[in-house]
Amino acid sequence: MAREAAEGKVVLVTGASSGIGRACADLLARSGFTVHGTSRSAPVDPPAGWTWQEMDVRDGAAVGDGVARIVAAAGRLDAVVNNAGFGIAGAVEDTTVGEALDLFQTNFLGALRVCRAVLPHFRARGTGTIVNVSSLGGRIGLPFQGLYSASKYALEGMTEALRMEVKPFGVKVVLVEPGDTRTGFTAHRQRTALSETNGAYRERFIRALQRIEEDETGGGSPEVVARLILRVLRHPSPRLRYTVGNPVQRLAAVARGVLPGRLFEWGIMRYYGVH
């Protein structure tokens, strides 16, 4: 990849207290970026070479103030990594609208709030990069993670459109789609309340969740995703989409486009033990 210099560039990383966001903030800081990392709780290990501030992406005023503080402190903002997010497990039938809304408030609307806060600044300067951290679950509807997949599909759709809208202003918009990655994501995943009591899905739900958790805890290191994000931020004209992680999982995203639908579905159902 061709490279742009990082020196002096200011980047906001949301969800920087843990996992991919933490790895990203650390690596970008080591690579010459001025990094402002945000989350609801402070990182357990103090940030090395970057600045942390509290910012809940569910709170529009907090996002607006947070972005304004960074621009005031650093004098500019060059890029944002919309990474804050969490997972929820449960059958679609066992997910209440309230639980779904709660998830979308962070995974989808959180990214929208941050995009809306940074875009006037990016447009005014005629430059800026937005990296939205999606998931391979944003390319494939994963059984018993249906609402998580839906939140990432929503992010994907918005990102595709946004990229075309802001291209004439010199703003770049990119999707990074990690496969299973070893982070706090597994421990932080919520289960829908009804999944604990509804017997109809119980056995298949437990089997699928076990598979999902094994894949995540045995998954790639968050530094691998961080390295990809660094490459994207240094690229003068990045693509719309980058997948990262286990080659089999990355292949699944491709297979989805080429295999007959029934065969693909059969494979996914066998894989997660939900047939």
Q: Which amino acids are annotated catalytic?
A: 17, 134, 148, 152
* 133 within 8 A of 20, measured Cβ to Cβ: yes
In the range 214-233, which residues lie near ligand NAP by CB under 6 A?
A: 216, 219, 222
Closest Cα to residue 118, out of 54, 69, 185, 155?
69
Tokens representing residue 204 in the block: 């298949």
At residue 30, what are phi and psi to the nearest 5 degrees? Answer: -65, -25
Binding letters toward ligand NAP, positions 155-194, x by CB under 6 A:
-----------------------x-xx-xxx--x------
Alpha-carbon distance of 176 to 83, in angstroms, equals 10
Q: How far is the CB of 258 from ligand NAP (least distance, A)?
A: 22
Choosing from 83, 95, 145, 192, the residue that interacts with ligand NAP (CB under 6 A) is 83
Tell me the CB-side half-sphere exposure of residue 220, using CA atoms within 13 A. Answer: 21
Evaluate whether 11 touches 243 at the Cβ level (below 8 Å). Answer: no
46 or 260: whose CB is closer to ligand NAP? Answer: 46
Helix 109-125 and helix 60-74, axial crossing angle in degrees, nearest 10 = 30
Which residues between 46 and 75 bind ligand NAP (CB under 6 A)?
56-58
Task: State how far the Cα of 108 lies from the Cα of 111, in Å rounded to an integer.
Answer: 5
- Is residue 131 within 8 A of residue 79, CB to CB? The reply is yes
Q: Which is nearer to ligand NAP, 125 or 132 (CB)?
A: 132
Considering the rule CB under 6 A, would residue 21 count as an interface residue with ligand NAP?
Answer: yes
The verdict on 133 binding ligand NAP (CB under 6 A) reads yes
Based on the shown chain and the rule CB under 6 A, indicate whether residue 86 belongs to the binding site for ligand NAP.
Answer: yes
| Residue 106 within binding range of ligand NAP, rule CB under 6 A | yes
Interaction site with ligand NAP (CB under 6 A): 14-21, 39-41, 56-58, 83-86, 106, 110, 133, 135, 178, 180-181, 183-185, 188, 216, 219, 222
